[in-house]
Chains A and B, each alone.
Chain A
Amino acid sequence: MAHFTKAKSLHDWLNQRLAIDTLRRVLATEYWIPKNINFLWAMGMVLAITFALLLVSGIFLLMYYQPNVDLAFDSVNYTIMQEVGYGWLWRHIHGVAASVVFLIIYIHMFTGIYYGSYKKGREMIWISGMLLFVAFSAEAFSGYMLPWGQMSYWAGMVITNLFSMGGLQLDGLVEWIRGDYIPAQAFLNRFFMLHVLLIPLAIIGLIVLHFGALRIPHVNNQDGEEIDFEAEAAKYKAGNKKESKVIAFVNDFMSKDMMVVSIYLIFFFYLVFYHYDFAMDPVNFDPADGLKTPTHIYPEWYFLWSYEILRPFSTNVGLIAFAFAQVIFFLLPFLDRSPNAVPASRRGLFKYWFWAMLIDMIILTGMGKLPPEGIFSTIGLYAALLFIGLWIVLPFITKFEKKV
Protein backbone atom coordinates (compact mmCIF):
# COMPACT_ATOMS: atom_id res chain seq x y z
CA MET A 1 0.00 0.00 0.00
CA ALA A 2 1.16 3.50 -0.82
CA HIS A 3 2.43 5.63 2.02
CA PHE A 4 0.15 8.44 3.20
CA THR A 5 1.11 11.16 5.65
CA LYS A 6 -1.09 13.41 7.74
CA ALA A 7 -2.32 16.10 5.35
CA LYS A 8 -1.26 19.71 5.92
CA SER A 9 -4.20 21.11 3.95
CA LEU A 10 -7.18 20.06 1.90
CA HIS A 11 -5.05 20.56 -1.20
CA ASP A 12 -2.37 18.26 0.20
CA TRP A 13 -5.03 15.72 1.25
CA LEU A 14 -6.45 15.60 -2.27
CA ASN A 15 -3.01 15.67 -3.84
CA GLN A 16 -1.95 12.56 -1.96
CA ARG A 17 -5.03 10.70 -3.13
CA LEU A 18 -5.70 12.08 -6.62
CA ALA A 19 -2.37 13.65 -7.70
CA ILE A 20 -4.18 16.86 -8.61
CA ASP A 21 -0.94 18.81 -9.07
CA THR A 22 0.32 16.33 -11.66
CA LEU A 23 -3.05 16.35 -13.42
CA ARG A 24 -3.09 20.13 -13.59
CA ARG A 25 0.46 20.21 -14.92
CA VAL A 26 -0.12 17.61 -17.62
CA LEU A 27 -3.51 18.90 -18.75
CA ALA A 28 -3.06 22.65 -18.34
CA THR A 29 0.04 24.47 -17.17
CA GLU A 30 2.50 22.35 -19.15
CA TYR A 31 0.40 21.66 -22.21
CA TRP A 32 2.10 23.76 -24.86
CA ILE A 33 0.42 25.87 -27.54
CA PRO A 34 2.35 27.72 -30.29
CA LYS A 35 2.31 31.51 -30.13
CA ASN A 36 1.96 31.90 -33.87
CA ILE A 37 -1.80 31.34 -34.17
CA ASN A 38 -4.88 33.53 -34.68
CA PHE A 39 -8.49 33.69 -33.48
CA LEU A 40 -9.47 30.75 -35.70
CA TRP A 41 -7.61 28.52 -33.23
CA ALA A 42 -10.23 29.39 -30.61
CA MET A 43 -13.03 27.59 -32.50
CA GLY A 44 -12.38 24.36 -30.59
CA MET A 45 -13.12 26.09 -27.30
CA VAL A 46 -16.13 27.84 -28.85
CA LEU A 47 -17.43 24.41 -29.85
CA ALA A 48 -16.83 22.98 -26.38
CA ILE A 49 -18.76 25.88 -24.83
CA THR A 50 -21.61 25.46 -27.35
CA PHE A 51 -21.79 21.75 -26.54
CA ALA A 52 -22.03 22.64 -22.84
CA LEU A 53 -24.89 25.05 -23.64
CA LEU A 54 -26.68 22.29 -25.56
CA LEU A 55 -26.20 19.86 -22.69
CA VAL A 56 -27.48 22.21 -19.97
CA SER A 57 -30.46 23.52 -21.97
CA GLY A 58 -31.24 19.93 -23.02
CA ILE A 59 -31.37 18.76 -19.40
CA PHE A 60 -34.04 21.36 -18.59
CA LEU A 61 -36.06 20.56 -21.72
CA LEU A 62 -35.93 16.89 -20.78
CA MET A 63 -37.80 17.63 -17.54
CA TYR A 64 -41.01 18.52 -19.40
CA TYR A 65 -40.71 16.93 -22.85
CA GLN A 66 -43.04 13.94 -23.50
CA PRO A 67 -41.85 11.40 -26.09
CA ASN A 68 -45.37 10.44 -27.14
CA VAL A 69 -46.93 11.11 -30.53
CA ASP A 70 -50.08 12.56 -28.93
CA LEU A 71 -48.31 14.70 -26.35
CA ALA A 72 -44.92 15.66 -27.82
CA PHE A 73 -46.07 18.65 -29.87
CA ASP A 74 -47.97 20.25 -26.99
CA SER A 75 -45.31 19.45 -24.42
CA VAL A 76 -42.90 21.55 -26.48
CA ASN A 77 -45.15 24.26 -27.87
CA TYR A 78 -47.47 24.65 -24.92
CA THR A 79 -45.92 23.28 -21.71
CA ILE A 80 -42.31 24.33 -22.28
CA MET A 81 -43.07 27.53 -24.18
CA GLN A 82 -46.05 28.81 -22.17
CA GLU A 83 -46.13 27.21 -18.75
CA VAL A 84 -42.60 26.42 -17.60
CA GLY A 85 -40.84 29.46 -16.14
CA TYR A 86 -38.09 30.43 -18.61
CA GLY A 87 -38.88 27.29 -20.62
CA TRP A 88 -38.68 29.43 -23.77
CA LEU A 89 -35.09 30.31 -22.84
CA TRP A 90 -33.95 26.68 -22.78
CA ARG A 91 -35.75 25.92 -26.01
CA HIS A 92 -34.33 28.92 -27.83
CA ILE A 93 -30.80 28.26 -26.52
CA HIS A 94 -31.13 24.63 -27.61
CA GLY A 95 -32.50 25.47 -31.06
CA VAL A 96 -30.07 28.31 -31.78
CA ALA A 97 -27.06 26.36 -30.46
CA ALA A 98 -27.99 23.35 -32.59
CA SER A 99 -27.84 25.56 -35.67
CA VAL A 100 -24.84 27.71 -34.73
CA VAL A 101 -22.77 24.70 -33.68
CA PHE A 102 -22.70 23.64 -37.34
CA LEU A 103 -21.56 27.09 -38.46
CA ILE A 104 -18.62 26.84 -36.04
CA ILE A 105 -17.93 23.22 -37.06
CA TYR A 106 -17.69 24.31 -40.72
CA ILE A 107 -15.36 27.21 -39.80
CA HIS A 108 -13.27 24.81 -37.69
CA MET A 109 -13.11 22.30 -40.59
CA PHE A 110 -12.18 24.83 -43.25
CA THR A 111 -9.54 26.33 -40.93
CA GLY A 112 -8.03 22.85 -40.69
CA ILE A 113 -8.16 22.42 -44.46
CA TYR A 114 -6.65 25.85 -45.14
CA TYR A 115 -3.68 25.40 -42.79
CA GLY A 116 -3.08 21.72 -43.64
CA SER A 117 -3.78 20.65 -40.05
CA TYR A 118 -4.68 17.10 -41.12
CA LYS A 119 -1.17 16.07 -42.21
CA LYS A 120 2.12 14.91 -40.75
CA GLY A 121 0.88 13.02 -37.71
CA ARG A 122 -2.36 15.01 -37.38
CA GLU A 123 -4.46 12.52 -39.39
CA MET A 124 -6.22 11.15 -36.30
CA ILE A 125 -7.24 14.66 -35.27
CA TRP A 126 -8.95 15.03 -38.64
CA ILE A 127 -10.58 11.59 -38.57
CA SER A 128 -11.86 11.93 -34.99
CA GLY A 129 -13.13 15.39 -35.93
CA MET A 130 -15.03 13.96 -38.90
CA LEU A 131 -16.51 11.27 -36.64
CA LEU A 132 -17.69 14.10 -34.39
CA PHE A 133 -19.25 15.80 -37.42
CA VAL A 134 -21.18 12.59 -38.22
CA ALA A 135 -22.25 12.19 -34.57
CA PHE A 136 -23.41 15.82 -34.42
CA SER A 137 -25.35 15.33 -37.66
CA ALA A 138 -27.13 12.30 -36.20
CA GLU A 139 -27.77 14.26 -32.99
CA ALA A 140 -29.22 17.19 -34.94
CA PHE A 141 -31.45 14.94 -37.03
CA SER A 142 -32.77 12.90 -34.09
CA GLY A 143 -33.42 16.11 -32.13
CA TYR A 144 -35.33 17.56 -35.06
CA MET A 145 -37.83 14.69 -34.79
CA LEU A 146 -38.77 15.41 -31.19
CA PRO A 147 -41.18 18.41 -31.47
CA TRP A 148 -43.24 16.15 -33.79
CA GLY A 149 -44.29 18.95 -36.12
CA GLN A 150 -44.87 18.64 -39.87
CA MET A 151 -41.18 19.10 -40.75
CA SER A 152 -40.13 16.62 -38.04
CA TYR A 153 -42.48 14.01 -39.42
CA TRP A 154 -41.74 14.47 -43.10
CA ALA A 155 -37.98 14.85 -42.61
CA GLY A 156 -38.16 11.59 -40.64
CA MET A 157 -40.11 9.99 -43.47
CA VAL A 158 -37.79 11.17 -46.24
CA ILE A 159 -34.46 10.54 -44.46
CA THR A 160 -35.40 7.04 -43.27
CA ASN A 161 -36.64 6.34 -46.82
CA LEU A 162 -33.06 6.89 -48.02
CA PHE A 163 -32.20 3.57 -46.35
CA SER A 164 -34.32 1.73 -48.90
CA MET A 165 -31.24 2.42 -51.08
CA GLY A 166 -33.25 3.47 -54.13
CA GLY A 167 -33.38 0.65 -56.66
CA LEU A 168 -32.51 -1.96 -54.02
CA GLN A 169 -36.01 -1.45 -52.51
CA LEU A 170 -34.98 -2.39 -48.96
CA ASP A 171 -38.38 -1.48 -47.47
CA GLY A 172 -37.87 -4.06 -44.72
CA LEU A 173 -34.77 -2.20 -43.49
CA VAL A 174 -36.68 1.10 -43.46
CA GLU A 175 -39.51 -0.49 -41.45
CA TRP A 176 -36.95 -2.00 -39.07
CA ILE A 177 -35.33 1.38 -38.45
CA ARG A 178 -38.73 2.99 -37.87
CA GLY A 179 -40.21 0.10 -35.91
CA ASP A 180 -43.38 0.71 -37.92
CA TYR A 181 -44.51 1.20 -41.51
CA ILE A 182 -44.41 4.96 -41.03
CA PRO A 183 -42.78 7.24 -38.43
CA ALA A 184 -45.02 6.64 -35.40
CA GLN A 185 -44.72 5.98 -31.65
CA ALA A 186 -41.91 3.40 -31.90
CA PHE A 187 -39.98 5.78 -34.16
CA LEU A 188 -40.36 8.79 -31.85
CA ASN A 189 -39.38 6.76 -28.79
CA ARG A 190 -36.22 5.32 -30.29
CA PHE A 191 -35.07 8.63 -31.74
CA PHE A 192 -35.70 10.19 -28.33
CA MET A 193 -33.42 7.54 -26.78
CA LEU A 194 -30.76 8.17 -29.43
CA HIS A 195 -30.97 11.93 -28.96
CA VAL A 196 -30.75 12.06 -25.18
CA LEU A 197 -28.50 9.11 -24.41
CA LEU A 198 -26.70 7.06 -27.01
CA ILE A 199 -25.48 9.77 -29.38
CA PRO A 200 -24.49 12.24 -26.60
CA LEU A 201 -22.46 9.42 -25.00
CA ALA A 202 -20.74 8.80 -28.33
CA ILE A 203 -20.11 12.54 -28.73
CA ILE A 204 -18.50 12.83 -25.30
CA GLY A 205 -16.30 9.80 -26.02
CA LEU A 206 -15.30 11.25 -29.39
CA ILE A 207 -14.46 14.63 -27.85
CA VAL A 208 -12.05 12.85 -25.50
CA LEU A 209 -10.53 11.03 -28.48
CA HIS A 210 -10.31 14.32 -30.43
CA PHE A 211 -8.43 16.02 -27.56
CA GLY A 212 -6.24 12.96 -27.08
CA ALA A 213 -5.35 12.91 -30.78
CA LEU A 214 -4.08 16.48 -30.38
CA ARG A 215 -1.73 15.61 -27.55
CA ILE A 216 1.25 14.11 -29.42
CA PRO A 217 1.32 16.12 -32.70
CA HIS A 218 0.27 19.31 -30.86
CA VAL A 219 -1.69 22.20 -32.35
CA ASN A 220 -0.63 23.38 -35.82
CA ASN A 221 0.36 27.02 -36.34
CA GLN A 222 -0.17 29.76 -38.93
CA ASP A 223 2.96 28.90 -40.95
CA GLY A 224 2.85 25.14 -40.60
CA GLU A 225 6.23 25.45 -38.88
CA GLU A 226 7.57 22.30 -37.23
CA ILE A 227 8.22 23.29 -33.63
CA ASP A 228 10.48 21.37 -31.23
CA PHE A 229 8.00 21.55 -28.36
CA GLU A 230 10.39 20.16 -25.76
CA ALA A 231 13.13 22.68 -26.51
CA GLU A 232 10.67 25.58 -26.66
CA ALA A 233 8.96 24.46 -23.45
CA ALA A 234 12.35 24.34 -21.71
CA LYS A 235 12.97 27.97 -22.73
CA TYR A 236 9.55 28.95 -21.39
CA LYS A 237 10.09 27.17 -18.09
CA ALA A 238 13.53 28.76 -17.73
CA GLY A 239 11.74 32.11 -17.72
CA ASN A 240 12.68 32.93 -21.30
CA LYS A 241 9.04 33.44 -22.26
CA LYS A 242 9.73 36.10 -24.87
CA GLU A 243 12.00 33.93 -27.02
CA SER A 244 10.04 30.72 -26.59
CA LYS A 245 7.74 29.88 -29.50
CA VAL A 246 5.18 28.33 -27.17
CA ILE A 247 2.95 29.34 -24.29
CA ALA A 248 1.10 27.32 -21.66
CA PHE A 249 -2.49 26.26 -22.34
CA VAL A 250 -3.51 27.65 -18.93
CA ASN A 251 -3.49 30.56 -18.20
CA ASP A 252 -1.73 32.08 -21.24
CA PHE A 253 -3.69 30.60 -24.12
CA MET A 254 -6.97 30.21 -22.25
CA SER A 255 -7.17 33.91 -21.52
CA LYS A 256 -7.12 34.65 -25.24
CA ASP A 257 -9.42 31.71 -25.99
CA MET A 258 -11.99 32.96 -23.51
CA MET A 259 -11.77 36.44 -25.03
CA VAL A 260 -12.94 34.97 -28.37
CA VAL A 261 -15.53 32.89 -26.52
CA SER A 262 -16.89 36.05 -24.86
CA ILE A 263 -17.35 37.81 -28.19
CA TYR A 264 -18.97 34.67 -29.57
CA LEU A 265 -21.37 34.45 -26.63
CA ILE A 266 -22.52 38.05 -27.16
CA PHE A 267 -23.35 37.13 -30.76
CA PHE A 268 -24.93 33.86 -29.61
CA PHE A 269 -27.24 35.39 -27.01
CA TYR A 270 -28.14 38.19 -29.41
CA LEU A 271 -29.48 35.41 -31.66
CA VAL A 272 -31.18 33.64 -28.75
CA PHE A 273 -33.03 36.74 -27.60
CA TYR A 274 -33.74 38.60 -30.85
CA HIS A 275 -33.34 36.24 -33.81
CA TYR A 276 -34.14 32.73 -32.57
CA ASP A 277 -36.70 32.40 -35.38
CA PHE A 278 -34.00 31.60 -37.95
CA ALA A 279 -33.54 28.25 -36.21
CA MET A 280 -37.28 27.49 -36.06
CA ASP A 281 -38.98 26.48 -39.28
CA PRO A 282 -42.55 27.89 -39.35
CA VAL A 283 -43.82 24.67 -40.97
CA ASN A 284 -42.79 22.78 -37.85
CA PHE A 285 -45.35 24.73 -35.82
CA ASP A 286 -48.05 22.58 -37.44
CA PRO A 287 -48.49 19.24 -35.68
CA ALA A 288 -47.32 16.13 -37.58
CA ASP A 289 -49.89 14.89 -40.08
CA GLY A 290 -49.19 11.72 -42.06
CA LEU A 291 -51.96 12.53 -44.51
CA LYS A 292 -50.72 15.99 -45.53
CA THR A 293 -47.30 16.76 -47.02
CA PRO A 294 -45.76 20.21 -46.75
CA THR A 295 -45.31 21.83 -50.19
CA HIS A 296 -41.53 21.93 -49.95
CA ILE A 297 -39.51 19.57 -47.82
CA TYR A 298 -35.98 20.79 -47.16
CA PRO A 299 -33.50 20.13 -44.35
CA GLU A 300 -31.96 22.68 -41.99
CA TRP A 301 -29.32 24.90 -43.63
CA TYR A 302 -26.34 22.82 -42.48
CA PHE A 303 -27.49 19.75 -44.42
CA LEU A 304 -28.45 21.64 -47.58
CA TRP A 305 -25.14 21.15 -49.42
CA SER A 306 -25.31 17.36 -49.22
CA TYR A 307 -29.07 17.40 -49.94
CA GLU A 308 -28.33 19.39 -53.10
CA ILE A 309 -25.80 16.73 -54.17
CA LEU A 310 -28.57 14.12 -53.82
CA ARG A 311 -31.28 16.06 -55.58
CA PRO A 312 -30.32 16.85 -59.19
CA PHE A 313 -29.68 13.21 -60.14
CA SER A 314 -32.00 10.24 -60.67
CA THR A 315 -32.72 8.21 -57.52
CA ASN A 316 -29.83 5.72 -57.68
CA VAL A 317 -27.13 8.05 -59.01
CA GLY A 318 -28.24 10.65 -56.46
CA LEU A 319 -27.85 8.21 -53.59
CA ILE A 320 -24.35 7.24 -54.75
CA ALA A 321 -23.37 10.92 -55.05
CA PHE A 322 -24.85 11.57 -51.61
CA ALA A 323 -22.94 8.66 -50.05
CA PHE A 324 -19.77 9.95 -51.74
CA ALA A 325 -20.29 13.41 -50.22
CA GLN A 326 -20.81 11.90 -46.76
CA VAL A 327 -17.55 9.94 -46.62
CA ILE A 328 -15.13 11.80 -48.86
CA PHE A 329 -14.03 14.36 -46.25
CA PHE A 330 -12.75 11.49 -44.10
CA LEU A 331 -10.23 10.67 -46.82
CA LEU A 332 -8.79 14.19 -47.11
CA PRO A 333 -5.46 13.37 -45.35
CA PHE A 334 -4.89 10.54 -47.83
CA LEU A 335 -6.17 12.20 -51.00
CA ASP A 336 -3.90 15.19 -50.42
CA ARG A 337 -0.65 13.72 -51.76
CA SER A 338 1.55 16.74 -51.06
CA PRO A 339 3.94 16.68 -48.07
CA ASN A 340 3.50 20.46 -47.57
CA ALA A 341 1.69 21.23 -44.33
CA VAL A 342 1.55 24.98 -44.90
CA PRO A 343 -1.28 27.48 -45.47
CA ALA A 344 -3.14 27.01 -48.76
CA SER A 345 -1.96 30.45 -49.95
CA ARG A 346 1.57 29.02 -50.37
CA ARG A 347 0.52 25.78 -52.02
CA GLY A 348 0.10 26.55 -55.72
CA LEU A 349 -3.00 24.92 -57.24
CA PHE A 350 -4.30 23.80 -53.85
CA LYS A 351 -5.01 27.45 -53.07
CA TYR A 352 -7.53 27.53 -55.90
CA TRP A 353 -8.87 24.11 -54.92
CA PHE A 354 -9.56 25.35 -51.39
CA TRP A 355 -11.48 28.46 -52.45
CA ALA A 356 -13.32 26.58 -55.22
CA MET A 357 -14.45 23.97 -52.66
CA LEU A 358 -15.57 26.60 -50.15
CA ILE A 359 -17.52 28.63 -52.72
CA ASP A 360 -19.00 25.49 -54.28
CA MET A 361 -20.34 24.36 -50.91
CA ILE A 362 -21.88 27.80 -50.32
CA ILE A 363 -23.55 27.62 -53.77
CA LEU A 364 -24.82 24.09 -53.06
CA THR A 365 -26.24 25.32 -49.75
CA GLY A 366 -28.05 28.19 -51.49
CA MET A 367 -29.46 26.00 -54.27
CA GLY A 368 -30.59 23.36 -51.78
CA LYS A 369 -32.94 25.87 -50.19
CA LEU A 370 -34.53 26.97 -53.48
CA PRO A 371 -37.20 24.92 -55.26
CA PRO A 372 -35.59 22.55 -57.81
CA GLU A 373 -36.85 24.37 -60.88
CA GLY A 374 -35.38 25.98 -63.99
CA ILE A 375 -32.07 27.78 -63.59
CA PHE A 376 -31.61 26.80 -59.91
CA SER A 377 -31.83 23.16 -60.86
CA THR A 378 -29.12 23.63 -63.51
CA ILE A 379 -26.80 25.57 -61.18
CA GLY A 380 -27.33 22.90 -58.52
CA LEU A 381 -26.42 20.13 -60.98
CA TYR A 382 -23.19 21.82 -62.07
CA ALA A 383 -22.25 22.67 -58.48
CA ALA A 384 -22.78 19.02 -57.51
CA LEU A 385 -20.65 17.84 -60.46
CA LEU A 386 -17.96 20.38 -59.52
CA PHE A 387 -17.92 19.05 -55.94
CA ILE A 388 -17.30 15.50 -57.15
CA GLY A 389 -14.81 16.71 -59.77
CA LEU A 390 -12.79 18.68 -57.21
CA TRP A 391 -12.30 15.57 -55.09
CA ILE A 392 -11.25 13.54 -58.12
CA VAL A 393 -8.56 16.04 -59.17
CA LEU A 394 -7.26 16.59 -55.63
CA PRO A 395 -4.72 13.70 -55.61
CA PHE A 396 -3.34 14.81 -59.00
CA ILE A 397 -2.89 18.53 -58.29
CA THR A 398 -1.32 17.81 -54.89
CA LYS A 399 0.98 15.10 -56.24
CA PHE A 400 2.64 17.57 -58.59
CA GLU A 401 2.80 20.33 -56.02
CA LYS A 402 6.26 21.84 -55.51
CA LYS A 403 7.84 21.15 -52.14
CA VAL A 404 7.87 24.34 -50.06
Chain B
Amino acid sequence: MKNSSRRGFMGKAFGAVAGVGAVASLYAMKRSWDPLPSVKAAGFTTLDMTAYKENELVVEKWRGKPIFVLKHSKEMIDTLDENKSQITGESLGEIDKKRLVKIGNDYFMVTIGLCTHLGCIPGYNPDEKSFLCACHGGLYDDTGMVTKSPPPRGLDIPPFRIDGMKLVLGEEGPEYKKMKETGITL
Protein backbone atom coordinates (compact mmCIF):
# COMPACT_ATOMS: atom_id res chain seq x y z
CA MET B 1 0.00 0.00 0.00
CA LYS B 2 2.74 2.37 1.01
CA ASN B 3 4.72 1.34 -2.06
CA SER B 4 1.88 1.83 -4.44
CA SER B 5 1.08 5.31 -3.15
CA ARG B 6 4.72 6.25 -3.54
CA ARG B 7 4.55 4.94 -7.11
CA GLY B 8 1.38 6.89 -7.63
CA PHE B 9 3.08 10.06 -6.48
CA MET B 10 6.04 9.44 -8.79
CA GLY B 11 3.61 8.88 -11.65
CA LYS B 12 1.82 12.15 -10.99
CA ALA B 13 5.08 14.04 -10.53
CA PHE B 14 6.33 12.68 -13.84
CA GLY B 15 3.03 13.56 -15.47
CA ALA B 16 3.29 17.15 -14.23
CA VAL B 17 6.87 17.58 -15.45
CA ALA B 18 6.04 15.95 -18.78
CA GLY B 19 2.97 18.17 -19.15
CA VAL B 20 4.99 21.34 -18.65
CA GLY B 21 7.60 20.03 -21.08
CA ALA B 22 4.97 19.18 -23.66
CA VAL B 23 3.37 22.64 -23.51
CA ALA B 24 6.78 24.32 -23.65
CA SER B 25 7.89 22.29 -26.66
CA LEU B 26 4.59 22.90 -28.45
CA TYR B 27 5.15 26.63 -27.94
CA ALA B 28 8.69 26.35 -29.31
CA MET B 29 7.38 24.41 -32.33
CA LYS B 30 4.66 26.99 -32.95
CA ARG B 31 7.25 29.79 -32.82
CA SER B 32 9.51 27.95 -35.24
CA TRP B 33 6.69 27.92 -37.79
CA ASP B 34 6.16 31.71 -37.44
CA PRO B 35 7.25 33.95 -40.31
CA LEU B 36 10.88 35.04 -39.74
CA PRO B 37 11.65 38.62 -38.62
CA SER B 38 13.37 39.21 -41.96
CA VAL B 39 10.20 38.13 -43.77
CA LYS B 40 8.11 40.46 -41.61
CA ALA B 41 10.53 43.35 -42.09
CA ALA B 42 10.28 42.89 -45.83
CA GLY B 43 6.51 43.30 -45.48
CA PHE B 44 6.77 47.09 -46.00
CA THR B 45 7.18 48.85 -49.32
CA THR B 46 7.70 52.59 -49.69
CA LEU B 47 6.55 54.21 -52.93
CA ASP B 48 7.70 57.63 -54.16
CA MET B 49 4.45 59.07 -55.47
CA THR B 50 6.08 61.87 -57.51
CA ALA B 51 7.43 59.37 -60.06
CA TYR B 52 4.13 58.25 -61.59
CA LYS B 53 2.67 59.48 -64.88
CA GLU B 54 -1.01 60.19 -65.40
CA ASN B 55 -3.23 57.35 -66.66
CA GLU B 56 -0.28 54.95 -66.82
CA LEU B 57 -0.66 51.82 -64.74
CA VAL B 58 2.42 50.77 -62.77
CA VAL B 59 2.50 47.39 -61.05
CA GLU B 60 4.49 47.45 -57.84
CA LYS B 61 5.14 44.50 -55.53
CA TRP B 62 4.20 44.34 -51.87
CA ARG B 63 4.44 41.13 -49.83
CA GLY B 64 4.80 39.28 -53.13
CA LYS B 65 1.45 40.54 -54.37
CA PRO B 66 1.00 42.85 -57.35
CA ILE B 67 -0.02 46.42 -56.41
CA PHE B 68 -1.74 48.60 -58.99
CA VAL B 69 -0.79 52.28 -58.87
CA LEU B 70 -2.70 54.54 -61.26
CA LYS B 71 -2.34 58.32 -61.15
CA HIS B 72 -5.57 60.02 -62.17
CA SER B 73 -5.45 62.88 -64.65
CA LYS B 74 -7.56 66.01 -64.25
CA GLU B 75 -10.01 64.81 -66.88
CA MET B 76 -10.41 61.41 -65.20
CA ILE B 77 -11.40 63.16 -61.97
CA ASP B 78 -13.74 65.46 -63.92
CA THR B 79 -15.39 62.47 -65.58
CA LEU B 80 -15.94 60.98 -62.15
CA ASP B 81 -17.50 64.23 -60.93
CA GLU B 82 -19.80 64.50 -63.95
CA ASN B 83 -21.31 61.05 -63.44
CA LYS B 84 -24.26 61.43 -61.16
CA SER B 85 -26.19 58.59 -59.63
CA GLN B 86 -29.55 58.26 -61.39
CA ILE B 87 -31.28 57.41 -58.14
CA THR B 88 -29.92 59.80 -55.52
CA GLY B 89 -28.54 62.50 -57.78
CA GLU B 90 -25.36 62.42 -55.76
CA SER B 91 -22.13 62.87 -57.65
CA LEU B 92 -20.56 59.47 -58.24
CA GLY B 93 -17.20 61.18 -58.10
CA GLU B 94 -17.73 61.88 -54.43
CA ILE B 95 -18.38 58.20 -53.82
CA ASP B 96 -15.63 56.91 -56.07
CA LYS B 97 -13.03 59.43 -54.93
CA LYS B 98 -13.25 57.87 -51.48
CA ARG B 99 -11.48 54.86 -52.98
CA LEU B 100 -8.60 57.05 -54.16
CA VAL B 101 -5.57 58.13 -52.19
CA LYS B 102 -4.92 61.89 -52.25
CA ILE B 103 -1.28 62.85 -52.09
CA GLY B 104 -0.48 66.55 -52.53
CA ASN B 105 -3.07 67.62 -55.10
CA ASP B 106 -3.09 64.33 -57.00
CA TYR B 107 -5.42 61.37 -56.78
CA PHE B 108 -4.08 57.83 -57.03
CA MET B 109 -5.76 54.46 -57.28
CA VAL B 110 -3.70 52.11 -55.10
CA THR B 111 -5.08 48.56 -54.91
CA ILE B 112 -4.00 44.96 -54.65
CA GLY B 113 -3.95 43.80 -58.26
CA LEU B 114 -5.79 40.54 -57.70
CA CYS B 115 -9.33 40.00 -58.92
CA THR B 116 -11.57 39.60 -55.88
CA HIS B 117 -13.31 36.71 -57.64
CA LEU B 118 -10.62 34.02 -57.85
CA GLY B 119 -7.35 35.90 -57.61
CA CYS B 120 -6.36 36.38 -61.27
CA ILE B 121 -4.57 39.57 -62.28
CA PRO B 122 -6.75 41.97 -64.33
CA GLY B 123 -5.29 43.99 -67.22
CA TYR B 124 -5.67 47.79 -67.68
CA ASN B 125 -7.02 49.40 -70.82
CA PRO B 126 -5.92 53.10 -70.75
CA ASP B 127 -8.38 54.11 -73.50
CA GLU B 128 -11.44 52.59 -71.85
CA LYS B 129 -10.01 53.43 -68.42
CA SER B 130 -11.08 50.05 -67.12
CA PHE B 131 -9.62 46.81 -65.82
CA LEU B 132 -10.69 43.54 -67.44
CA CYS B 133 -10.07 40.20 -65.72
CA ALA B 134 -9.59 37.67 -68.51
CA CYS B 135 -10.35 34.68 -66.31
CA HIS B 136 -14.10 35.17 -65.93
CA GLY B 137 -14.81 38.52 -67.53
CA GLY B 138 -14.99 40.73 -64.43
CA LEU B 139 -14.72 44.48 -65.16
CA TYR B 140 -13.53 47.32 -62.87
CA ASP B 141 -13.46 51.08 -63.45
CA ASP B 142 -10.40 53.30 -62.92
CA THR B 143 -11.05 53.50 -59.17
CA GLY B 144 -11.16 49.71 -58.81
CA MET B 145 -14.96 49.54 -58.44
CA VAL B 146 -16.73 46.57 -60.03
CA THR B 147 -18.72 47.49 -63.12
CA LYS B 148 -19.44 43.92 -64.24
CA SER B 149 -19.69 40.76 -62.09
CA PRO B 150 -18.62 38.03 -61.10
CA PRO B 151 -16.22 39.83 -58.68
CA PRO B 152 -18.05 40.20 -55.33
CA ARG B 153 -16.42 43.55 -54.43
CA GLY B 154 -14.04 46.18 -55.73
CA LEU B 155 -10.28 45.64 -55.77
CA ASP B 156 -8.92 45.50 -52.23
CA ILE B 157 -6.82 48.40 -50.96
CA PRO B 158 -3.60 47.47 -49.13
CA PRO B 159 -2.87 49.02 -45.71
CA PHE B 160 -1.06 52.32 -46.31
CA ARG B 161 0.23 55.38 -44.51
CA ILE B 162 0.83 58.71 -46.23
CA ASP B 163 4.24 60.17 -45.46
CA GLY B 164 4.58 63.50 -47.27
CA MET B 165 4.93 62.61 -50.95
CA LYS B 166 5.64 58.99 -50.07
CA LEU B 167 3.29 56.10 -49.48
CA VAL B 168 4.24 53.33 -47.04
CA LEU B 169 2.46 50.04 -47.76
CA GLY B 170 2.00 47.64 -44.84
CA GLU B 171 1.35 50.31 -42.20
CA GLU B 172 -2.15 51.50 -41.28
CA GLY B 173 -2.42 55.28 -41.46
CA PRO B 174 -5.54 57.31 -40.49
CA GLU B 175 -6.72 57.53 -44.13
CA TYR B 176 -6.60 53.75 -44.48
CA LYS B 177 -8.36 53.19 -41.15
CA LYS B 178 -11.16 55.48 -42.29
CA MET B 179 -11.55 53.47 -45.50
CA LYS B 180 -11.77 50.29 -43.48
CA GLU B 181 -14.34 51.73 -41.07
CA THR B 182 -16.56 53.00 -43.86
CA GLY B 183 -16.41 49.63 -45.59
CA ILE B 184 -14.64 50.88 -48.71
CA THR B 185 -12.19 48.01 -48.41
CA LEU B 186 -11.98 44.85 -46.34
Contacts and interface: CB of A to CB of B under 8 A. Distances in A.
A352 interface: no
A179 B35 contact: yes
Nearest to A371: B136
A182 B59 CA distance: 17
A186 B34 CA distance: 10
Interface residues of A, number: 22
Identify the interface centre among A180, A182, A297: most chain B CB within 10 Å of its CB: A180
Contacts of A295: 120, 134-135
Interface in A283-305: 290-293, 295-297
Interface string B132-157: 00110000000000000000000000
Interface in B51-85: 59, 61, 63-66
A175 B135 contact: no
Contacts of A158: 119
B36 A179 contact: yes
Nearest to A184: B64
A169 B43 CA distance: 19
Nearest to B114: A293
B42 to A, nearest CB: 9
**Interface on chain B toward A: helix, strand, loop, or mixed SS?**
loop
A291 B35 contact: no
Nearest to A296: B135
B63 A293 contact: no
A297 B35 contact: no
Given A179-B39, A180-B39, A297-B118, A291 B34 contact: no
A186 B119 contact: no
A239 to B, nearest CB: 52
Contact of A181 (B34, B64, B118, B135): B64
A181 B169 CA distance: 14
A175 B64 contact: no
B63 A181 contact: yes
A4 interface: no
Contacts of B134: 295
Contacts of B63: 181-182
Interface residues of B, number: 20
A399 interface: no
A297 B59 CA distance: 23
Contacts of B61: 291
A311 B69 CA distance: 32
Interface string B8-48: 00000000000000000000000001111001000100000
Identify the interface centre among B61, B64, B66, B134: most chain A CB within 10 Å of its CB: B64
Contact of B64 (A161, A177, A180, A190): A180
A157 B119 contact: yes
Interface string A96-125: 000000000000000000000000000000
Given A181-B43, A295-B135, A297-B118, A186 B36 contact: yes
B131 to A, nearest CB: 14
B59 A180 contact: no
Contacts of B49: none
Nearest to B121: A293
A181 B62 CA distance: 9
B135 to A, nearest CB: 6
A306 B118 CA distance: 18
B125 to A, nearest CB: 18
Contact of A176 (B34, B59, B65, B135): B34
A296 to B, nearest CB: 8
- Top 6 A-B residue pairs of the complex, sorted by shortest distance between their CB atoms: A182-B64, A181-B63, A293-B120, A290-B64, A291-B66, A180-B39
8 contacts: A161-B119, A175-B35, A176-B34, A178-B35, A180-B39, A184-B64, A291-B61, A297-B118
